[in-house]
Chain A
Amino acid sequence: MITVLSNVIRFVVLIALQVLLLDHMDLANGWVVPYLYVLFIMMLPFELPTWSVLLLGFATGATMDFFSSTPGMHAGACTVMAFARTGVLRLLEPRDGYEFGVAPTVQTMGLVWVLTYSALLVPIHHLWLFFTEVFRFDRFPETFGRALLSALLTITLIMLVQLITGRQERKRA
Chain B
Amino acid sequence: MRDLFRFLWRSRSTLLFIGLMVLSFLWLANGNDHHRAQTFTSSQAAIGTLYGWRDQVVRYTDLDGENEILAAAQAEMMNRMRSSYLNSSAPFVVVNDTLLQQQYKYISTRVLNSTTSKQKNFLTLDKGGKAGLAAGMGVIAANGIVGVVRECSPRFSTVTSVLNSSWNISVLNPRTEHFGLLNWDTADPTTARVKDIPKHARIVVGDTIVTGGDDRVFPKGVPVGVVESVVNDDGAVALDIIVRLSHDMTRIGHVWVVTDLLKLERDTLEAKLDAE
Which of B27-35, B68-76, B217-225 interfaces with chain A?
B27-35
What chain A residues lie within 8 Å of B17 (beta carbons)? 54, 79, 83
A21 closest partner in B (C-beta):
B54
What chain A residues lie within 8 Å of B30 (beta carbons)? 71
CA distance A66 to B49 in the complex (A): 13
What chain B residues lie within 8 Å of A80 (beta carbons)? 21
CB atoms of A54 and B24 under 8 A apart: no
CB within 8 Å of B: which A80-136 residues: 80, 83, 86, 132
CB within 8 Å of B: which A47-88 residues: 49-51, 54-55, 58, 61, 65-67, 69-73, 75-76, 79-80, 83, 86
CB atoms of B28 and A79 under 8 A apart: no
Total cross-chain contacts (CB, 8 A): 60
Q: Tell me if A20 is interfacial: C-beta within 8 Å of chain B.
A: yes
CB atoms of B12 and A76 under 8 A apart: no
Q: Tell me if B20 is interfacial: C-beta within 8 Å of chain A.
A: yes
What chain A residues lie within 8 Å of B44 (beta carbons)? 66
CA distance A67 to B51 in the complex (A): 9
CA distance A24 to B32 in the complex (A): 23
Q: Tell me if B98 is interfacial: C-beta within 8 Å of chain A.
A: no
CA distance A19 to B48 in the complex (A): 12
CA distance A20 to B57 in the complex (A): 11
CA distance A94 to B27 in the complex (A): 38
Minimum CB–CB distance for A10 against chain B, Å: 18
CA distance A132 to B47 in the complex (A): 23
CA distance A19 to B30 in the complex (A): 23
CB atoms of A132 and B20 under 8 A apart: no
CA distance A92 to B101 in the complex (A): 81
- B residues contacting A by CB (< 8 A) are 12-13, 16-17, 20-21, 23-28, 30-32, 37, 40, 43-44, 47, 50, 54, 58
Q: List 13 A-B contacts (CB under 8 A).
A: A20-B54, A55-B16, A66-B43, A71-B32, A72-B23, A72-B24, A72-B27, A72-B31, A75-B20, A76-B25, A79-B24, A86-B13, A132-B28
Given A66-B44, A71-B32, A132-B28, 8 further pairs, Cβ under 8 A: A51-B12, A51-B13, A72-B28, A75-B23, A76-B28, A79-B21, A79-B24, A83-B13
